Structure 1
Amino acid sequence: MWDCRELGLFLCALSILPLVCFSASFVPLDNYLIDCGSLANTSIDSRNFTSDGFYKNLLSTQQDVLANTSLKSVTSSGDSPLYQTARIFTSSSKYTFPIIKKGRHWIRLYFFPFAYQNHNLSAANFAVTTQNYILLSNFSVSKNPVMKEYSLNLTSDTLVITFNPSHNSIAFLNAIEVVSVPDELIADDASTLNPVASYSGLLTVALETVFRVNMGGPTVSSGNDTLHRTWVPDQKFLIQPNLASNFSNIGAVTYVNGGPTENTAPPSVYGTLTQMNSADDPRSNFNVTWQFDVEPQFQYLIRLHFCDIVSKSLNELYFNVYVNSWLAAKDLDLSTKNHNVLATPYYMDLIAAPSVSNKIRVSIGPSTLNNDYPNAILNGLEIMKMNNSISSLSGSTTVPLASASSGSGSGSKKVGIIVGVTLGAISVLVLVAVLFILCRKQRRLEREGHSKTWIPLSINYGTSHTMGSKYSNGTTASAASSFGYRIPFVAVQEATNNFDESWVIGIGGFGKVYKGMLNDGTKVAVKRGNPRSQQGLAEFRTEIEMLSQFRHRHLVSLIGYCDERNEMILIYEYMEKGTLKSHLYGSGLPSLSWKERLEICIGAARGLHYLHTGYAKAVIHRDVKSANILLDENLMAKVADFGLSKTGPEIDQTHVSTAVKGSFGYLDPEYFRRQQLTEKSDVYSFGVVLFEVLCARPVIDPSLPREKVNLAEWTMKWQKRGQLEQIIDPTLAGKIRADSLRKFGETAEKCLADFGVDRPSMGDVLWNLEYALQLQEAVVQGDPEENSTNMIGELSPQVNDFNHDVSVSAAQFESSSLDDLSGVSMSRVFSQLVKSEGR
């Protein structure tokens, strides 16, 4: 008589024989294929599933039912034979498999509920566990066939899989596989998305396959995969199918030594892809996005498969890859990943942090490095759930015990109670020990009383830096840490009174803004990202990147940021008077005088002019509006919110092609039509702000008559009639000098020109606003320019030659990227310009 292990070895030898004969690929040493409840063997895709009657010695149970009824009356002829029989368990039962080769193994469980005698399998509720992991808990199958696939690292000589029916319920199983997995299939290392870092230890993690998708191709059945995996088409996961197109060239796929093999994914996956449906339009700028339903609160291993079968030459295709709102790969060039060989498979493993969302979105989009038509590709995708901290792959932490209706059930319940009490006592002891250690550490830190420092964020999109809290003793935060530095989450909590809702001072697209105070008494504004916001990591990084490079009196300063605990938090200097918008309408604040409004516009223009000219490459704000112009206690204006900012065009380029972003009512119509961004897009938005300042009303107000809804359109009609004074803020009536109003209106009108080439630069806008202020403060006698109707066009040459007449030139005034010279009085400068002796 053979013992259990000898029987296992014999059966494994029998089951791998067909693979040895017909395939030169991976041959698993452990290869248990069982058709549960069947009286005969079943052949599926050239694999022989053995009747579990032959495997009876592997099954340990006191009560079970062999259900071998045919299901042809209730299923279609196309259903797999594996689902036509089942083994039903009325009490706790287990399979014990001898393991020849330790390491990672597939465990595939097949379930299909059907009515058998007095057992309704759709009503079954049960748990499935191994000696190390909870695979299923409170599990039931209502209608359709279900196959659950797990990948576990086995370290013992046996694998025990236990089926535990819930109280007064049953468990069932139609088929089971326990099969060795190639060692190289799951590497130990991967990259995390949030925070961006490297991850190791994946070899010991239990995985559940949630999705396995073939992009751009049909279903790949298990018979066409060396590891007998099934890949499903991607169409049903596409959010906007019209943005995607398919491509196939399976014969081009070339596997090279040292790279992925057919065990990674078959040629039928790497040889098909989904790409951008750009229709040969060089201006195409969009993402192709897939959405997948997942269980929240779990980490997920996301494997992206790539194979460039579309390019004709190397270094031709560059694209970006996103997972949720996180940039997973920037300017990905597959030819550099594959030994400079085209059509060579490549895959990328990424780990998504636990989230409250039940969705995972994967997107591909064009890179700005593309020299040809923009494109992006994806060939295949696998999403695998990772076990949580209690070694469970099930959302429920409860493992149902066996029924108490029998003696064995009562025994199981007693064992469960004993184990539960023991584990509970151990948990309490561990918790007490941890709390004791933490308390001692806290007391030590309080005694030492050291100040705290933070390591600055490495502004790049690679994975070389580790994001997370890196600070020395304690949690005190102060403004002395300087901007661009990471601040611990606990310090942000202290500064905002644990994000007290009564401290909220604003809500925007990124999230809520809280008033806060650091331990040194510095007032701050804390902008906390909303995980459900449409703005995400890209905006978070852009804001840090931009504000860490700029230093200007009229740009809001960034004090620090926090990216712990999946948070995206930005900490700015506090602007006491809030937004310009709030001082114009809707908040009941005192009305601003015309001089105050002009000075605020001048300050904002200085900040924008610096962005456009004070750096090696122009920076385009892309969201200029009154809500993004903040005021300090002295009503000095500072431009804020750089999450949408873009670096401007190269010297030999006229524009940047990019997706349209901004705010309705302020958006440059030329940018909207052509998706071509320039500094003049900011000029247009600023022109809308100028009219908003003058009229003190929203830029879009649907409650008004049709002709008044859009502020820009409405004011331009009155400006062209020469009757702008008819629509100004009533509180300014009779308080604006006619020449100042005319110059202000002409400046705003030029900003709103239909074509960017016809609009002034921010430098010209700045000088003309200063001139409007001079006209308001004093009447200039005998000035030939006083009655000009086109000062912008005539003033610019004077500005260009200004350094010949006075000591401060326009270029000197704003060009320095190191020092803020904006304190120079423009009133003083203009007093030289408008007086005869200054000419």
Structure 2
Amino acid sequence: MCISLGFEPKDNYLIDCGSSKNTSVGNRVFVADDSGSNNPLTPENNSFITSLNSIPTTTNESALHNTVRIFTGVSNYSFSINRQGRHWIRLHFSPFVYQSYNTSMAKFSVSTQSFTLIKEYKPKGGSLVKEYCLNITSDKLVLTFSPFADSFAFVNALEVVSIPDELIPERAKTSPQDGYQSLQKEALETVARVNMGNSSVPPQRDVLSRLWVSDDAYLRRNVLPKFVSNVSAVKFNGTNVTEIFAPADVYGTASMLNSEHDPNTKVNITWTFDVDPGFQHLVRFHFCDIVNVSELVFNVYINSWIVSRYFDLREHTSHIPGAPYYMDFIIRKSDSNQLNVSVGPPDLNELYPNGILNGLEIMKINNSRSSLDVLDSFSSKSSKTKVGLIVGIAAGSFITVVSVVVLFLLCRRRRRLAHVAHLKAEDNFAMNRGDNEIAMFSSSKIGYRFPFVAIQEATGNFSESLVIGVGGFGKVYKGVLRDETKVAVKRGGSQSHQGLAEFRTEIEMLSQFRHRHLVSLIGYCDERNEMIIIYEYMENGTLKDHLYGSKFPCMSWRQRLEICIGSARGLHYLHTGSTLAIIHRDVKSANILLDENFMAKVADFGLSKTGPDLDQTHVSTAVKGSFGYLDPEYLTRQQLTEKSDVYSFGVVMFEILCGRPVIDPSLPREKVNLVEWAMKSQKRGRLEDIVDPNIIDQIKPESLTKFREITEKCLAECGPDRPSMGDVLWNLECALQLQGNTETSSHNGKIHSQVNLSDHSETSVSTAQFSIGDLAGVSMSKVFAQLVREEMREM
């Protein structure tokens, strides 16, 4: 069937694992992998047991489930790839009990050279086929089965088959206002492949041996569709859609609104699918007009996102009767474990509402860790939760006492602020508030207060498709105000007492300062017990995503240095821009955001705290922050200073240099903790071992040396031994100069450089010329502090 369509798979490995003879399944032959020691398909490891053909199975089980290969050690299947490009990888698993081996006790992972397919196999009640689609760009594919300690791995059958490259698009449209996303390098896992019309299509009826299950199990029962079948009406001739995308049996059946039975039907047909949270998904719709009604126009939805409004199937098929059509969309990741797909009337006033769907495919897209397993999606979050719990228990008695005092002070402060704001509002102006009007208070500590309905409108009623981040405080949505201003909307949990404290802290902190390297506050909303903060929108997301996320191009060393410098300027401004320092307390790569020009801005001030008075050395407070970035002195002694931020920034600097997470449990034990590994490598004189290989050839040795020296100082065990943020900033500027990215000149053996020292967003940029030789031994923090205070006087 494939050959008749002009496609013959160059790679077509079908293996009956653990078998000594070939097995026919429909029109395909699965080859034995135990037919002799010279068999190239036998796993490359001798620590396995081949099962016998007498393994018990039910009469309805496939012949492939009569044998199994069991691995007691790490084992590989190696395949020669004759044609690079997209391939199916299908893994067949079936429950069995053989001697001391029982699938309920199996625990293992499956991976390729580039992707983790299964992080930890979890046995299910019946047989299971896991299907993946990988773009293989080498002449060899290695499938690795890795049993856990005191356990084993197994597989009943596997397939590695090349498929037409056009089957998976190079890119697909993403959720509203996000444009298109490339899929060329991504791995996919089939979540659902459904044939509408209440009928299934077996692999024998598909040119690519795909199983299409009936949609009946996924239908919402609030409205029952009309099931139609007219396979003879499908016409592949004259269109770009062939049976490679879906067979005629799929395009020839459909589920549609039953408007003939009830013309007043005004609801959508909805199908609900279980998906793994934390992943993006590719959704493909298959349509074909096999009913030939007078008009076929409807809306198509994924969750609350209208992916196609007033979708006219006939326009997309050039009005060719029975011509098939498909369209692809990528839905953003969310915390939800369900995905809804709907079709329905575009207008409630439609006389005869209609909507039709013939087939649907949902494929999970690998995450930034090149994994398709949900355990890899939330492992870091779980790790942080556990550490936070341990720290919380250790400091519990202290927190209890402090909480009572803080609660009392907060209540007093809240009453005082409310009274002051009320008086100022009366003195300065009054505003009438309509449903769509923004109310603004004159108090500089309050800022702009948005009505809840305006925020609902800006975020599509908090559409899951617009979620751009999730943190401890709540979800962050992308929004667009009526004046077309893009914003980031952070919505907190209304019942959280900790959330309320963070909400107030962030608004108060952000209202006090404005700086080009600090994310700006636009407004807030506290209606209906909501805690919502609105910030400027940062086009390029977080620094973390760009350092070790597969979705973005690798940043150059120059870009990374400039991001370090921008972040250091923002933190230095916090530490020195007012009488009392502001300590951020949660400095990490996820809280450094990048605008459309990749300029860095420090964000998330919910944990920030005013620094010690001039006659004090520290602030005693409960430990808060993120695991891996916490200052060890603050962690053990609960004494907070500006040097706690310096330590955390030192961790970020290593993160930038190495291009990997701070904690990575998947690495060997000695490399799990980035700081420990990096410091040991430095002491051994092996700094090159930790540098991101993507930039190692870009860095000049003198620039790397300067960067290493200041990073090591930031990570000193004792706070007094660490430099100030002003000193850090000065050294980073020097590292950039040594890299050769700014003008330098030599005069009398001294290096002179132009350093940008003024960063206030509403003042002109000034420069100051310094001689490094003349300033040797002088703390640059004093110089920078003075310049920042001059900026504040100009505001």
Larger radius of gyration: 1
